[in-house]
Chain A
Amino acid sequence: MEKNFESCLNNNPVSIKYRKSERTLYATGLGCMGYAIWSVIRTLLQTYFRYEDIKEFFNVIAREVVQVMDPSLGEDLIRLTTILTDILIIALMVVALVVSFLLRFYVGRSACLEAVGKKKRVIYIVFAVLILLFDIFSIYGAAREFGNMANGTSTEDYLAPWMPNFLDEVAELLLSITSVIIMLEMIVNAIRVKVFRKKFKGGSVNER
């Protein structure tokens, strides 16, 4: 029983940093996936609670289409065009939502898998950078909107139903800032983990 087992501990500064990076990467991966799910929920909630505004928006679109089109084409064709326009707008928004969700979910899941030792390609880090840029742009957009609200500048009428009110904008801003921090941490730690692994030429530090 006199054996000293302290030598089995792996507490050199590099290993400690490596473990910290892995766990941070895992946490940010979960955060990214959580944000993806939240985006979908938020859109569904907005659609539900602002249904009348959205209906009015499509009415405005229909009036614009009627104004633009030649009346000699006939009422049926004009109505069909209106419906197709509505479908196109909805389809574009659904596609954008799905792409956003899938991208964030893929990036988050890849980060988690990388953190537990499974090898992942660099592409998810590239997507993480894209998401980071998009979030920074969102913050810029929100800041601009705050400026508009402060100046009393009115927006185009047809965009009015989609324009969030002040509280919506504050909430969106906070979430965008959170997402920026998550993505930054994820990118930094993903690179660190890849560099460490190349040095150790192995999987997770748990194996050492």
Chain B
Amino acid sequence: MNGDFHYYATYCTAILAGYSHEEACDICYSAQFVDLCSRTFLSSVNGPKAAATTQLSAELVEQKTDFLGLQEITRIWASFHFLPYDLHAEKKRCSRAYRNKYRMICNSNGALLADTVNLAKDKSLQAVGIAMHITADTWAHKYFAGTPSMAINNTDNHFFEIMPEEDGYKVRPLKFSHNPGAKDDIENAVYVNSLYQTSENTVMNLGHGRAGHLPDYSFIRYKYLPAWGDYKEILKDNPSDYIHAFAQLVYAMQYLRGEHESFELNRYAWETIEPYRDEIEAILEKRQLSDSDDWKALGEKLSGCEIPDFDLEKYKEEYKKAPKEEKGYTFLGKFFLGALAQKSMVTGKIYRSGNPLAGVSIDYEKNGVGAVKDYLKLFEYSYGGNQNE
């Protein structure tokens, strides 16, 4: 998903879930920050590199795709943007290598989603924001995997937009161009995607690059042939997926606030969003590349407060100036801890399922952290209480 949903729409869901304006700002900032917390940013604040939640294009260009490099990529993208749906999915008549990648395919309401939301329980607002980003992305990034793989993530020119009409729908073909500087042309159905490359492990085949930004546009419905789909067409109904994501975010945050005893998959806060459903659907169905203005207007209407624009530099100085022992209590410090915990949890689950794609995971509670000094803080974090103090 784009910044419009991760920032402004997440703010709306936080308000509807019962958070205050200030809490909602912290949550939505953290949700959007997941898309920006790269190693480059971490270097600028001297933060722990292991807390990276994304990789910039420039970093991906330089990223090695050897065995260890692929693990590095998978650890980030599978943990924060393409949460695997079923780590034990069965696929007949295929090699083990293919099955491992098949098991990394993202979808909504997987077991790891419950783990992600529960991990944020009684933790900081930053952890809540991270969990909400991941939850939202399980809807948008369905059917793609957070590991470079042509055999899983590739698509071809069989791409058709489905446009509702009065009594039914019409279908029109979509075209792709590879000019990264060009803008997506909604009117003429020409979108930018990554270049086709035959190498299995190239970063061009990471995530939904081959489908361009289509998964991140709330208005579009389309059908296509994913490489893993055995020549079957798959429907991606973004307006439906996005409203489910919205309702699930509200429900998840209600749970994290203590309104529900447990987090259940496939459960949504439809009653809570019902008074605003028409407005939400209107925003989602609007054919435009960014819904930021509309979500912002809705959010300000819900809370009665002005939502500050996202500012990447906002919390940098606080973190840089804090003494070492107090860094964990700064805004960024709490975010980094939440990110480390999330990455450790997902990587551990992938590793224990017998899948080597995310590398080896040390169970720090049992075996200590070894040489990974960034994870020392997680000892306190795992036993710590509410980090909002």
- Which of B169, B223, B239 interacts with A1 by CB under 8 Å? B239
Known: A8-B169, A8-B171, A206-B173. A1 touches B240 (CB 8 A): yes
A48 within 8 A of B: no
B267 within 8 A of A: no
Q: Which of A3, A5, A10, A20 has the most CB of B within 10 A?
A: A5
Rounded to whole angstroms, the CA-CA distance of A6 and B239 in the bound complex is 14
Q: How far does the Cβ of A20 sit from chain B's closest Cβ, in whole Å?
A: 5
* CB 8 Å contact bits of A1-33 with B (1 = contact, 0 = none): 101011011110000100110010000000000
Across the interface, name the chain B residue whose C-beta is closest to A16.
B231
Inter-subunit contact A16/B221 (CB<8 Å): no
* CB 8 Å contact bits of A88-113 with B (1 = contact, 0 = none): 00000000000000000000000000
- Which of B233, B281, B284 interacts with A9 by CB under 8 Å? B233
- Which of B169, B223, B225 interacts with A19 by CB under 8 Å? B225
B370 within 8 A of A: no
* CB 8 Å contact bits of B221-240 with A (1 = contact, 0 = none): 10101000011111101011
B285 within 8 A of A: yes
Chain B positions within 8 Å of A5 at CB level: 162, 164, 169, 221, 235, 237
Chain B positions within 8 Å of A6 at CB level: 235
Inter-subunit contact A3/B233 (CB<8 Å): no
Q: Which of B231, B235, B243, B284 has the most CB of A within 10 A?
A: B231
Known: A1-B285, A206-B158. A10 touches B231 (CB 8 A): no
Q: How far does the Cβ of A34 sit from chain B's closest Cβ, in whole Å?
A: 12
Q: How far does the Cβ of A146 sit from chain B's closest Cβ, in whole Å?
A: 32
B388 within 8 A of A: no
Which residues of A103-133 have CB atoms within 8 Å of chain B's CB atoms? Answer: none
Which residues of B326-361 have CB atoms within 8 Å of chain A's CB atoms? Answer: none
- Which of B162, B243, B281 interacts with A8 by CB under 8 Å? B162
B179 within 8 A of A: no
Known: A5-B221, A206-B173. A10 touches B233 (CB 8 A): yes
Across the interface, name the chain A residue whose C-beta is closest to B232.
A11
Rounded to whole angstroms, the CA-CA distance of A5 and B170 in the bound complex is 10
Which residues of B38-56 have CB atoms within 8 Å of chain A's CB atoms? Answer: none
Chain B positions within 8 Å of A16 at CB level: 230-232
Across the interface, name the chain B residue whose C-beta is closest to A207.
B173
B157 within 8 A of A: yes
Across the interface, name the chain A residue whose C-beta is closest to B156.
A23
Rounded to whole angstroms, the CA-CA distance of A206 and B243 in the bound complex is 30
Inter-subunit contact A206/B157 (CB<8 Å): yes
Known: A1-B239, A3-B164. A9 touches B223 (CB 8 A): yes
* CB 8 Å contact bits of B139-156 with A (1 = contact, 0 = none): 000000000000000001
Q: How far does the Cβ of B259 sit from chain A's closest Cβ, in whole Å?
A: 26
Q: How far does the Cβ of A73 sit from chain B's closest Cβ, in whole Å?
A: 60
Rounded to whole angstroms, the CA-CA distance of A8 and B171 in the bound complex is 8
Q: How far does the Cβ of B198 sit from chain A's closest Cβ, in whole Å?
A: 10
Chain B positions within 8 Å of A10 at CB level: 233
Inter-subunit contact A1/B232 (CB<8 Å): no
Inter-subunit contact A8/B164 (CB<8 Å): no
Rounded to whole angstroms, the CA-CA distance of A1 and B277 in the bound complex is 11
Chain A positions within 8 Å of B158 at CB level: 19, 206
Rounded to whole angstroms, the CA-CA distance of A8 and B235 in the bound complex is 8
Chain A positions within 8 Å of B281 at CB level: 1
Q: How far does the Cβ of A47 sit from chain B's closest Cβ, in whole Å?
A: 30
Q: How far does the Cβ of B189 sit from chain A's closest Cβ, in whole Å?
A: 14
Chain B positions within 8 Å of A20 at CB level: 231
Chain B positions within 8 Å of A1 at CB level: 239-240, 243, 281, 284-285
Rounded to whole angstroms, the CA-CA distance of A206 and B160 in the bound complex is 9
Which residues of B227-262 have CB atoms within 8 Å of chain A's CB atoms? Answer: 230-235, 237, 239-240, 243
> Which residues of chain B have a CB within 8 Å of any CB of chain A?
156-158, 162, 164, 169, 171, 173, 221, 223, 225, 230-235, 237, 239-240, 243, 281, 284-285
> Which residues of chain A have a CB within 8 Å of any CB of chain B?
1, 3, 5-6, 8-11, 16, 19-20, 23, 206
Extra inter-chain contacts (7) besides given A3-B169, A11-B232, A19-B225, CB under 8 Å: A1-B285, A5-B164, A5-B221, A8-B171, A10-B233, A16-B232, A19-B158
10 pairs, A vs B, C-beta closer than 8 Å? A1-B240, A1-B284, A3-B169, A5-B162, A5-B164, A5-B169, A8-B235, A16-B232, A19-B225, A19-B231
Report, nearest first, the 3 A-B pairs whose CB atoms are least far apart: A19-B231, A9-B233, A16-B231
